[in-house]
Amino acid sequence: MSTVSPDTHRVTAFAEWVDAHRDALADTVFQACVTAVPSFVTSGRETELAFRTACFSFLPGLSEAVVTGEFTGGASLPEAAEHLARWLPAAGISLVDLVLSYDVAGNELLDAFSRDLRDSAGWSGDSDRAEVLSVVAGRLFQFRRAALSQAMAVYSQEQERLQRRETSDVLEAVREALAGELDDVEAERRLGYRMNARHVGFVVWGPGATEAVLRGVAARLRSQLQARQGLVVLPGECALHGWLSVPENAPGLDELRARTAVPAGIRISLGMPHHGGVGFRITHREALETQSLTDRAVPQLARSDAPGEANSIVSFCDVVALVFASRDVELARHFVRSQLGSLVEPRHAVLYETLRVWFEELGSPTRAARRLNVHVNTLVKRLNRASEVVDRPLNAGDFAFRFAFEMSRITDE
C-alpha cells in the first residue's frame, strides 16, 4: 500500500537529490561500508567489484520506493545485490558483515541527505527540514529492511547449498580414505584432519535423533576424551560417524561412562585407539561392528548398578567376542552349547545373570554379591548350582568357558 504524503515534494526532494548525485553517493556508501567491513575489499578483487556494483544498483529503486512508499513485490533487491548475496558465502564473508553493510549504507545516505538539507536554501525553516528528514528516514528504514530481508534469504540459501556440497565432498573423501584409495597426505588435504595421529572411531545414533543432538553428543565426547582434533560425517539419517585424535593419557572407558551425559535414546559405539591411516580405517570398522551388535547384545551387558550412560557407551572390547561369533553363528551356537549346556535356557536366567556379574568382577564372590544385592553365601550357592548345570568346575580364568559365555549373547535360539 502506498504511503505517499499529500505534500509530495517532501519525499520527491530526496529522490531528486539521489538522482542528481548518484555516482558520488554510491562511492560514498561504498567507502563507508568497506571502512566498517574491510573484508569486502580484502577478500579479492572480484568481491570488491561485486560490492561496488551492488552499491550503485540500489539507488534507482531506492529513490522510487521512498517516493511511492512501496516496499513489497521483491523489487527492493536489485540483480547486482542478489548476485553479491550469493557470492559472499563462498568468499568467506559472514552474514553479520552483510547485515552491517546494509546498516552502514542506510545511515550514510541519511546523514548525507541531512547535511544537504542544512545547506539548502529551498526550505522555509528548521521544522520543515525536520519533517522532510523524518519522512525520508522512515521510508529509507522500510526499504532497507525489505532489501536486507531478501538479501539474507539469498545468502542463507547459498550457504546451505555450499554446505551440502561440502558435506558431499567430505563424505566422498572419507569413502575413498576408508577404501585405501587416498594416501595420508591427500586424505589430510581433503579432510582437514591429520592422519599421523592416534585415532578413535565412533558412531553416535538413536531413533529419530536430529543432527543437532548427534553433533552435540559428538562434541561432548570430543571434550571428555581431550581430543586434539575431530572429524564427523552424516552418512544418513539418525546416525553420525566420526573420528577423534586422542592422547595416550585420554580417559578410559569407565571414566568416560561416569563423566559423559548421553541423552535418552542415544548410543555411542567406540572403536579401539589405532595410529595412522591404517588405524583410521580399523577403528572405524570396529565402531561400526560395535554399533551393529549393540542393540542386540548390550542390553544383557548392562551392569545393574551402573548409571544409564553405561548402557549408552559401548566399546569394541565389550563386544569383540560377539563380533567373531557373528561370522559363523551356527558354529558359535554349537560351541556355546558344548561349553554352557542348558545354562543358556530361560529357566536358568538367575544363574546366567549371576555368572555374568561374577565374570565382570573377576571371580570375586564378595563384589559380585554386593552388586547383585544378595548375601555372599547365596551367591556361592548359585555358583555351585551353575557348576552342576554345566557339569564342570567354574573358573573365572577359564578362557573357553568365558568366551562361550560372551558369545551366548547373540547365539541364543
**pLDDT cut 90: percent of the chain above it:** 33
Contact 152, 99 (CB under 8 A): yes
Of 23-32, 65-74, 191-200, 381-390, give the lowest mean pLDDT range. 65-74
Mean pLDDT of 381-403: 87
DSSP class of residue 103? Answer: H
3-state secondary structure of 239: strand
Q: In 38-159, where do the E strands start and end?
A: none
What's the pLDDT at 5? Answer: 46
For all residues of the chain together, what is the average pLDDT? Answer: 84
What's the pLDDT at 3? Answer: 45
Cβ contacts of residue 185 below 8 Å, gap of 6+?
none
Determine the CATH number of domain 328-411.
1.10.10.2840
Topology agreement, domain 9-163 and domain 193-320: no
Residue of 122, 6, 155 whose CA lies nearest to 69: 6
Enter the pTM of the model. 0.54
What's the pLDDT at 19? Answer: 87
Burial of 6 (0-12, 13-18, 19+ CB in 10 A): exposed
Query: Which is more confidently placed, 267 or 140?
Result: 267
Mean pLDDT of 97-111: 91
Cell 534469504 locates to: 153
Determine the CATH number of domain 9-163.
1.10.490.10
How distant is the alpha carbon of residue 203 from its chain centre?
13
C-alpha span between 361 and 359 (Å, rounded) = 5
| CATH fold of 193-320 | Alpha-Beta Plaits (3.30.70)
pLDDT digits (tens, 9 = 90+) for 147-206: 888 899 999 888 888 777 777 888 899 999 999 999 999 999 889 899 999 999 999 999
200 forms beta bridges with 244
Of 148-152, 169-173, 306-310, 357-361, give the lowest mean pLDDT range. 306-310
Of 50-59, 219-228, 263-272, 402-411, give the lowest mean pLDDT range. 402-411
The yes-or-no verdict on residue 74 having pLDDT over 50 is no
Measured CA distances, 94 to 35, 49, 50, 144, 155 (Å): 16, 18, 16, 19, 9
Q: Residue ranges of the domains in the chain?
A: 9-163, 193-320, 328-411
